[in-house]
Chains A and B, each alone.
Chain A
Amino acid sequence: DAGITQSPRHKVTETGTPVTLRCHQTENHRYMYWYRQDPGHGLRLIHYSYGVKDTDKGEVSDGYSVSRSKTEDFLLTLESATSSQTSVYFCAISESGDSYNEQFFGPGTRLTVL
């Protein structure tokens, strides 16, 4: 299994508070991704990174920011959490951005915003 961990695994927070989720990989893969997964929706890309300090927006980036200061770590921040951001968040990694490169997923973080 690819070495990907996410922390925390579960978090309950209140509306308006900042939240940071961490993704850590030991595979030295160049690409890292943050997705959210909600019932009735497919996985939706929030942000992704193609190298240290190189990031770009995905489909649902509003209200989220990311940082990647080291190859192994990719942080997702909710500056001011809202109830609509209650979701399961998955981090994924891939060796390159080539179409045939599968993505390996972390175990997920279940976030509840009250």
Chain B
Amino acid sequence: GQNIDQPTEMTATEGAIVQINCTYQTSGFNGLFWYQQHAGEAPTFLSYNVLDGLEEKGRFSSFLSRSKGYSYLLLKELQMKDSASYLCAVVDSNYQLIWGAGTKLIIKP
């Protein structure tokens, strides 16, 4: 079967750095997305990786290792507004998105 694993919840301090991991086992791989979802709102796009390595976009970076079936989202200089759920999703061989259950990130002052 297809499986995406993420930690259920993480806590970090304002101004710090946090890394949210995602491991996957899917039928094929055509890219990996990270989305942010604030409570009660729609998911919004953060990043897309299809090649190995690190993609940096402001305070957020996303890393992919296809051989290890692993990705992480790195958030720097954490702000209170970063409190949200972070969703990892893999594009499988049928070009369907397979979603992880999400990681709830709690930022403390």
Contacts and interface: CB of A to CB of B under 8 A. Distances in A.
A100 B48 contact: yes
Interface in B34-80: 41-45, 48, 50
**Chain A CB within 10 Å — which of B41, B89, B96 has the most?**
B96
Count class of interface residues, chain A: 20 to 34
Contacts of B89: 42-43
Interface residues of B, number: 22
Interface of A is mostly: loop
Interface centre among B43, B50, B91 (most CB of A within 10 A): B43
A72 B23 CA distance: 36
Contact of B99 (A40, A43, A97, A107): A43
B97 interface: yes
B4 A42 contact: yes
A97 B87 CA distance: 20
B42 A41 contact: no
A102 B32 CA distance: 10
Contact of A58 (B30, B31, B96, B100): B96
B50 A106 contact: no
Interface string A74-103: 000000000000000010000001111011
Nearest to B29: A99
A45 interface: yes
The 5 closest A-B CB pairs, nearest first, are: A42-B99, A99-B30, A105-B42, A43-B99, A102-B45
Interface of B: 4, 30-31, 33, 41-45, 48, 50, 87, 89, 91, 95-102
Given A44-B99, A98-B95, A108-B41, 8 more contacts: A42-B89, A42-B100, A43-B97, A58-B96, A59-B96, A90-B43, A99-B95, A104-B45
7 contacts: A43-B99, A45-B97, A99-B31, A100-B50, A103-B45, A105-B42, A108-B41
